[in-house]
């Protein structure tokens, strides 16, 4: 039977969605070297990949945007993607329609859409997207994982928005979870990523289990003001991230398509790491079967001669005054890569950095390198979608650092997969929104802004 605590939670939230009494689910505890994870708000799969690299099998992911779902399915065709709103899906469905079944889930992770909390725009507690945080909690309580990772923007820690974090912690504690209360904002540049990107992480576990620690930094941002007391090695630089990539200017084909067969140069150690080329490494992801001589996600941009001239004159590490684009410093790190706005909010492209050596903006592939994605990972062929997928995602190496701490408290020794995996159907990367929605049998209206119902207003007020 459902406990009094669970009934109170259901009543308090004014939701009729917690109709999966935990007592009716016989959860099997299995002895396995690849623990089970679920990704909520999966996007194109940055956190999915990071957790896979740490040794998890992410058997189920949930994402509302059909374009993102198609990209996710291309890169992880062997796991289940649910193209649904988190408001509509239930834990029972996730278990039933994936390979999870009644196995115990080791971790649920995800980052509810952050636009309502972001420091970039006006912070708004009443933003309808912020109610998704509470549906995240609902699904955690339905799935009952051992561990929980909630990721969000730094803006969630600022001013009155800190109240949201305290409410989340309180709700978890009222429902059988303990939370690491010294929540932290981590910078990807301190975990081997050549990008200044700060994200909030909240870690929790079921009562009685061992709380994880936050990962210790492994690097310090390159070219930042030197701290002599910090003995960590410098993070990879922009130059090291882009090293070995073919020059797109040599390929006219890239004016019409996003891929070409080309010769790559010598990779840096950073590139070897993200592509899992070291014989001894702590990357436990499934090797992908792909052609390493194919340069992907590299559709060229046709800049005007005037723009090229302005880009050339801009000093490295400075802002070009007209476009407001940041010109990358090859010996420094990238500024935060952002997503821009969705189609229902004008489809504005976030300012893309200027290449450090060439008078143009960086390509999607170059952005992916700066975000710690391996070269086999593909994005939608449209530049706007590709940059949005990267800008919305957690860098895989940062996600891996968090996931590795969960692995430690699970007391599991990760194992290298013995089999390699094929990537999915490339057609998925070319679909427009209507084609993707048709494939996943969803109504396009689901990705439009939803008008908050009385039930949702009550939900916000009662948490």
Using an 8 Å Cβ cutoff, are 209 and 243 in contact? no
Which residues partner with 153 through β-bridges?
199
The pair of structure tokens assigned to 127 is: 């933003």
Alpha helices by DSSP H, listed for 336-462, are 364-370, 383-391, 396-409, 433-440, 454-462
Instruction: List C-alpha distances in Å: 35 to 104, 284, 409.
Output: 9, 12, 12
Pairing of the two strands 260-261 and 294-295 = antiparallel
Task: Let me know: does 397 contact 189? Beta carbons within 8 Å.
Answer: no
Which of 384, 386, 350, 191 is CA-nearest to residue 270?
191
**Tokens standing for 182?**
């010294």
Contacts of 6 (CB under 8 A, 6+ apart): 18, 21, 22, 141, 175
Residue 420 is encoded by which pair of tokens? 């390699």
Tokens standing for residue 203: 């870690």
Task: Give the span between the Cα atoms of 194 and 260, in whole angstroms.
Answer: 26
CA R_g for the chain: 22
What domains can be seen in the chain, in order of their start residue?
Answer: 9-21+32-221+395-457 (3.40.50.150)
DSSP string covering 97-144? TSS-TTBPP-EEEE----TTT-SSS---TT-GGGGHHHHHHHHHHHH-
Burial zone of 179 (CB within 10 Å; 0-12 exposed, 13-18 middle, 19+ buried): buried
Dist. CA 269–CA 240, nearest whole Å: 8
Backbone φ, ψ for residue 187 (5° rounding): -105, 125
pLDDT for position 375: 99
Residue 331, C-beta contacts closer than 8 angstroms, at least 6 positions apart: 222, 223, 237, 238, 239
Q: Which residue, among 181, 188, 202, 82, has the nearest Cα to 133 in the 3D structure?
A: 202
Predicted pLDDT at 415: 87
DSSP assignment string, 45-59: SHHHHHHHHHT-EEE
User: In whole angstroms, what is the distance from residue 419 CA to residue 287 CA?
Assistant: 7
CA distances from 196 to 3, 222, 332, 354, 461 (A): 45, 10, 10, 16, 35
Residue 30 three-state SS: coil
Query: Of 69, 83, 114, 361, which one is the catalytic site residue?
Result: 114
| Euclidean distance between CA atoms 341 and 348, whole angstroms | 5
Amino acid 339: pLDDT: 82
What is the mean pLDDT of each successive set of 10 residues along the chain, which is 463 residues long? 41 37 49 88 98 98 98 99 96 98 98 60 51 91 98 85 87 96 96 97 98 98 77 96 98 98 98 94 97 98 97 98 96 92 52 96 99 99 97 98 98 93 98 97 69 42 35
SS3 148: strand
Q: HSE on the CB side for 416, CA within 13 Å?
A: 9
- Would you call 311 helix, strand, or coil by DSSP? helix
pLDDT at 18: 38
In contact, 53 and 407? CB cutoff 8 Å: no
Question: Is there a catalytic annotation at residue 83?
Answer: no
d(CA 170, CA 458): 18
């Amino acid at each position: 039977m459902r406990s009094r605590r669970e009934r109170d939670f259901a009543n308090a939230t004014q939701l009729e969605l917690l109709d999966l009494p935990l007592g009716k689910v016989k959860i099997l505890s299995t002895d396995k070297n690849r623990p089970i994870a679920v990704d909520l708000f999966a996007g194109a799969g940055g956190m999915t990949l990071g957790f896979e690299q740490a040794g998890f099998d992410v058997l189920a992911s949930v994402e509302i945007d059909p374009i993102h779902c198609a990209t996710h399915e291309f890169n992880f065709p062997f796991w289940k993607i649910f193209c649904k709103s988190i408001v509509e899906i239930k834990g029972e469905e996730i278990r039933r329609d994936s390979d999870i079944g009644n196995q115990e889930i080791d971790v649920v992770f995800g980052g509810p859409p952050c636009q309502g909390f972001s420091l970039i725009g006006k912070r708004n507690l009443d933003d309808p997207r912020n109610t998704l945080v509470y549906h995240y909690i609902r699904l955690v309580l339905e799935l009952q994982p051992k561990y929980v990772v909630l990721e969000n923007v730094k803006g969630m820690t600022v001013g009155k928005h800190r109240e949201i974090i305290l409410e989340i912690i309180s709700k978890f504690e009222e429902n059988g979870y303990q939370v690491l209360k010294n929540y932290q904002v981590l910078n990807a540049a301190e975990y081997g990523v050549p990008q200044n990107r700060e994200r909030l992480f909240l870690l929790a576990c079921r009562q009685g289990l061992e709380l994880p620690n936050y990962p210790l930094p492994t690097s310090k941002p390159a070219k930042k003001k030197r701290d002599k007391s910090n003995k960590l090695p410098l993070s990879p630089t922009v130059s090291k991230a882009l090293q070995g990539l073919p020059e797109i200017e040599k390929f006219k084909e890239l004016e019409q398509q996003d891929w070409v067969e080309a010769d790559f140069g010598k990779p840096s150690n950073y590139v070897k790491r993200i592509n899992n080329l070291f014989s001894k490494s702590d990357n436990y992801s499934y090797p992908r079967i792909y052609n390493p001589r194919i340069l992907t996600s590299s559709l060229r941009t046709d800049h005007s001669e005037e723009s090229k001239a302005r880009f050339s004159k801009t000093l490295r590490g400075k802002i070009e005054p007209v476009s407001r684009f940041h010109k990358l410093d090859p010996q420094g790190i990238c500024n935060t890569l952002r997503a821009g706005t969705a189609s229902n909010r004008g489809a504005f492209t976030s300012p893309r950095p200027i290449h450090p050596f060439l008078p143009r903006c960086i390509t999607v592939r170059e952005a992916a390198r700066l975000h710690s994605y391996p070269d086999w990972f593909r994005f939608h062929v449209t530049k706007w979608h590709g940059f949005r997928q990267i800008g919305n995602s957690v860098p895989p190496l940062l996600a891996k650092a968090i996931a590795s701490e969960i692995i430690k408290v699970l007391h599991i020794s990760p194992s290298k997969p013995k089999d390699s995996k094929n990537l999915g159907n490339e057609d998925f990367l070319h679909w427009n929104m209507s084609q993707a929605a048709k494939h996943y049998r969803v109504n396009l209206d689901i990705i439009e802004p939803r008008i908050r119902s009385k039930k949702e207003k009550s939900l916000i007020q009662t948490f």
